[in-house]
Amino acid sequence: MRITVTVDGTSYTDDVEPRTLLVHYLRERLGKVGTVVGCDTSNCGACTVHLDGHSVKSCSVLAVQADGSEVTTIEGLARDGQLHPVQQAFHDNHALQCGFCTPGMIMQSIDLLADNPDPDEHAVREGLEGNLCRCTGYQNIVKAVRDAAHHMRPGAGPEAERVAGADTGSRTASSVGGGGE
Amino acid sequence: MIPAPFDYVAPSTVDDAVRALADAGEDAKVLAGGQSLLPVLRVRLAAPTKIIDLGKIAELRGVREEGDHLVIGSMTTHYDVQRDSLIAEHAALLARATDTVADPQVRHRGTFGGSIAHADPAGDLLAPALALDCEMVIQGMDGRRTVAAADFFEDFFTTSLAPDEILVEVRVPKHTGWPAHYEKFNRVAQAWSMVAVAATVRTDGDTIAEARVALTNMSAVPVRARGVEEALVGQPATAEAIRAAAEHAAEGTNPTVDANADVEYRQHLARVLTGRAISAAMAG
């Protein structure tokens, strides 16, 4: 089945099997390996991306369901070589150890801050309920999100995700290179 | 893992979806938000030959008023239910229960109707739908019919939906201004309810005029706590009256036993959580 999806500002048209999960499409067809798979049960949230501006677990969405939609991954956050404020805050606050959960944590944190630009500690923990970290004990992750909130006022929201000046022309995956198939 | 192969269609009207479902036979599966179905497909606990995706059907999304009812489209997401002003005003119990469903990512995709049609006994929207006397509007090849929540849930993961029928809307009698609370007990974040209690009350001065209370995961289907409701009506809104009424919560329940809890413990939870739910509703 043919789908057209805009990922990190670039439009892709590809033929996919209906059973292809969005996360596998991103990783194996488009080479967006920044988005990782951490579990087989939909619990861990490591594969979190934004689909039309809202966080989703990309292991629980079919690629065909994303037809006509806009996806933002962790790879689409930095602009002009500058980390997104939430990425920078994770770096500054040592909010990771092994780093495997980090792409999902950051994508969900951005979603949380779009809904609630100044969350207290409880709101951060609730907002990250769908993301598991087995290293940090969450303490520095919570700190990082609150730190990012301070750096992002007033409301960065979806605008902060948009890749400035990104190529919006249509390209097929094969011309982009990187990663399987 | 990845799902077994299947054919996929995403019709743009309910009529087309119903026809596709009827044509596809019993091995077809309806895809709503997919937050229960996709995990099951991925581990191949299910392998339907055809998936009919309701995601492109605009008429199935949204909330509207119809006289003394709200009508919630079955594909309205949990996220939208949480934030809908009509639901907040006329059916707050649904919003409070939806707040507790899974996590934010799942609530962005998961749908009100999908949860109800899936009929997981630990699902958090079944008991509120029962407590509010919701009606399920179902469409098949022979047209539409309406089934009361009390008759809709038949067994574990089993409803009165025929294989070729789709849940299109849920009609909710308005409970305007009734404060509500959903008290959920689980061990860790994201976990399903071991037991949960949906409660909403109407007070008249200092007296409890009406009460609706239903239990999650205390049977194969949601259970209405009629004994509690009857004990509350006409009582003063005091902690003592609530505590006494909550003692009736486990009457007639037949909860399953699993690694989390046995029957006795679940029935104890039902009584304790019922007291908390009613108190929190009245305080809210």
User: In chain A, where are the structural domains located?
Assistant: 2-77+161-176, 85-160
Q: Is B120 helix (H, G, I), strand (E, B) or coil?
A: coil
For an interface test with A, which of B31, B103, B111, B118 has the most A Cβ atoms less than 10 Å from its Cβ? B103
- Answer whether residue B128 is part of any domain: yes
What's the confidence (pLDDT) of residue A176? 35
Interchain proximity A19–B35, CB inside 8 Å: no
- Asked if omega into A154 is within 30° of 0 (cis), the reply is yes
Confidence of residue A110 (pLDDT cuts 50, 70, 90): very high
Q: Using 70 as the pLDDT threshold, list the residues of chain B that sit under it.
A: none
Residue A164: half-sphere exposure toward Cβ, Cα within 13 Å? 9
Q: Which of A17, A21, A45 sits opposite B105 (nearest CB)?
A: A45
Residue B113 Cα distances to A15, B138, B282, angstroms: 31, 11, 28
pLDDT > 50? residue A170: no
d(CA B172, CA B182): 17
What's the confidence (pLDDT) of residue A74? 98
| A28-38 mean pLDDT | 98
Asked which of B156, B173, B190 is the last residue of a domain, the reply is: B173
Whether residue B197 is found in the same domain as residue B127: no
- Answer whether residue B39 is part of any domain: yes
Question: What is the pTM (predicted TM-score) of this model?
Answer: 0.93
Interchain proximity B108–A48, CB inside 8 Å: no
B212: nearest Cα among B116, B281, B122: B281
Specify the number of domains making up chain B: 3
d(CA B162, CA B196): 28
- Two domains, one topology: A2-77+161-176 and A85-160: no
> In CATH, what number is assigned to the domain containing residue B200?
3.30.390.50
- Answer whether residue B2 is part of any domain: no
Minimal CA separation from A153 to chain B, in Å? 22
> In CATH, what number is assigned to the domain containing residue B168?
3.30.465.10
d(CA A129, CA A116): 15
Statement: A85-160 belongs to CATH 3.30.200.20:
no
Whether residue B134 is found in the same domain as residue B204: no
What's the confidence (pLDDT) of residue A164? 34
Residue type, position B127, single letter: A
pLDDT > 70? residue A166: no
Whether residue B169 is found in the same domain as residue B63: yes
Whether residue B162 is found in the same domain as residue B213: no
Whether residue B29 is found in the same domain as residue B71: no
What's the confidence (pLDDT) of residue B47? 95
Whether residue B233 is found in the same domain as residue B275: yes
pLDDT > 70? residue A120: yes
- Name every residue in B having a CB less than 8 A away from some CB of A: 1-8, 10, 31, 34-35, 38-39, 41-43, 51, 53, 55, 79, 102-106, 108-109, 189-190
What's the confidence (pLDDT) of residue B190? 82
Confidence of residue A171 (pLDDT cuts 50, 70, 90): very low
What's the confidence (pLDDT) of residue A158? 53
d(CA A136, CA A95): 7
Residue A76 Cα distances to A64, A81, A153, B119, B199, angstroms: 21, 11, 21, 38, 44
Statement: A2-77+161-176 belongs to CATH 3.10.20.30:
yes
What's the confidence (pLDDT) of residue A162? 43
**Helix orientation angle between B263-283 and B239-246, rounded to the nearest 10 degrees:** 150
Domain that holds residue B39: 7-53
For residue B108, the chain A residues in CB contact (below 8 A) are: 51, 54-56
Q: Is B188 exposed, middle or buried (0-12, 13-18, 19+ CB in 10 A)?
A: exposed
What's the confidence (pLDDT) of residue B189? 82
- Answer whether residue B1 is part of any domain: no
Whether residue B22 is found in the same domain as residue B84: no
Whether residue B143 is found in the same domain as residue B204: no
Q: How large is the ipTM?
A: 0.95
Whether residue B165 is found in the same domain as residue B67: yes
Instruction: Give the strand pairing for B7-9 and B50-53.
Output: parallel
